[in-house]
Amino acid sequence: MRLCRVTGTTTATRKDESFRSSKMLVIQGIDLDGALLDERDMLALDPGFGAGVGDVVLVAREGSAARQLTGQDPIPANVVVLGVVDDWDVED
């Protein structure tokens, strides 16, 4: 699991049937201070948490999490939103 920030959304009028009730988000990893990491953007499936641009989300990068959250098997996704993060605290 990792923290990411939603940096964009996608629109697809034609897509796999298993994506019909989910949003596809553009996300980028962040560090524990909330700064974007210097890495490639990813697409993540949001199965109903309502995440939007600017939100911090907890994501899993494994297909089994997508299958468990959506109940779809098989599902052609390997990055899935597990929740929208309100706040986090890390002690030194």
pTM: 0.86
DSSP calls for 15-52: --GGGTTSEEEEEEEB-TTSPBPSS--EEEEESSS---
Check residue 50 and give its pLDDT.
95
Domain 2-85 = CATH 2.40.50.220: yes
CA dihedral 20, 22, 24, 29 (to 10 degrees): -160
Tokens for 63, please give them: 């297909």
Task: Indicate the pLDDT class of residue 14, thresholds 50, 70 and 90.
Answer: confident
Mean pLDDT value across the chain: 89
Residue 22 pLDDT exceeds 80:
yes
Beta bridge partners of 26: 8, 43
Q: What percent of the chain has pLDDT over 70?
A: 99
| Residue 25 reports pLDDT greater than 90 | yes
